[in-house]
Amino acid sequence: MAGEKSSPTIARIWRGRTRRDIADDYAAYLHEAGIKPLIEKALGVQSFREDRETENEFVTISHWESVEAMARFTGGNPRKIHHLPRDAEFLIELPESVQVLRIAGSFGLTG
C-alpha cells in the first residue's frame, strides 16, 4: 500500500565511547545531530547507553529495507563512518567502522 513502510532486512550498528563527565552532554548532542536526521531516513532507530565506571558507551542501531537504501543515506559505502562535526571533541576515539548485519529474525518486539 502507498505510504506503508517496508520491513527491515538490514541493521547498521554504530558504537562510540565518551568520558563519564561529558556523557550527558554527548547524549543530547548525539540525539540532535545524529539520531533525529537518521529517524527521517531509516525504517527505525534504537539508541542505547551503557554507563560504566570510567566511561560511557553509546550504541545506535538503524534498521533499513536494504543495503542499497542504507547506501543512499550514507552517500555510497554503507560501512563508511560519517562522524558528526563534534565527535572528535566528545569521543574517546573516533570509530573506524560500523557493523552491518542482515536481520535473521525479530521476535517479540513491538513499535
Name the helix (H) or strand (E) containing 67: helix 67-74
User: For residues 71 and 33, is the Cβ–Cβ distance under 8 A?
Assistant: no
Where does the pLDDT of residue 80 fall: very low under 50, low under 70, confident under 90, or very high at 90 and above?
confident
> Are 13 and 95 in contact, with CB atoms under 8 Å apart?
no
User: Residue 3: is its pLDDT beyond 80?
Assistant: no
Q: For residue 23, what are the β-bridge partners?
A: none
Q: Is the whole-model pTM more than 0.85?
A: yes
Q: What is the CATH number of the domain that holds 23?
A: 3.30.70.100
Read off the C-alpha cell for 89: 571533541
Q: How many domains does the chain have?
A: 1
**Residue 44 is assigned to a structural domain of this protein:** yes
**Within a domain: residue 1?**
no
Specify the pLDDT at position 33: 97
Q: Which domain holds residue 52?
A: 10-102
Range name among 2-11, 25-34, 74-83 with the lowest pLDDT average: 2-11
> Is there a domain that residue 111 lies in?
no
* 60 found inside a domain: yes
Q: What kind and span of H or E run contains 26?
A: helix 23-29
**Residue 90 maps to a domain:** yes
**Domain-located, residue 110:** no
Q: Are 38 and 60 in contact (CB under 8 A)?
A: yes
Is residue 3 domain-resident? no
Tens digit of pLDDT for each residue in 24-68?
999 999 999 999 999 999 999 999 999 999 999 999 999 999 988
Q: Indicate whether 30 belongs to any domain.
A: yes
Tell me how crowded residue 101 is: count the other CB atoms within 10 A of its CB: 11
